[in-house]
Amino acid sequence: MRPLQLAACLAFAAAPSAAFAQQPASAPDAGSADLENGRMLTYTCQGCHGIANYKNAYPNYRVPKIGGQSAAYLVNALTEYRNGTRQHPTMEAQARSFSDQDIADIAAFLSSLQK
């Protein structure tokens, strides 16, 4: 596990959110994506994206729930955060640690969840 992910795991070690604790409704055509790896990589995401009506402290806005979101959208967003073309300090820091395969795995898992 990468250091940033480990720190985030420790910070969000409380009971998993229902949005992320559920198993995928059905596995989409994930190609070479690894849904189990995606599930493991998204453990830290639930700390913000798995809480209904969550607002982060900086910048202050409502954090969207991402379970059930389109895989293409998630790949695009995470890639843009990783490349610095979409900006948010926390998301950029998280995405920098992801490989293309990690992003595909994350997108496949999250898109397989029910909204």
pLDDT digits (tens, 9 = 90+) for 84-113: 999 988 899 999 999 999 999 999 999 999
Please write the tens of the pLDDT for every residue from 22-33: 444 443 444 689
Contact 110, 74 (CB under 8 A): yes
3-state SS class at 104: helix
Percent of the chain with pLDDT over 70: 70
Residues facing 55 on adjacent strands: 62
pLDDT exceeds cutoff 50 at 59: yes
All domains of the chain, ordered by start, with CATH? 3-112 (1.10.760.10)
The pLDDT mean for the chain works out to: 77
Are 112 and 74 spatial neighbours (Cβ–Cβ below 8 Å)?
no
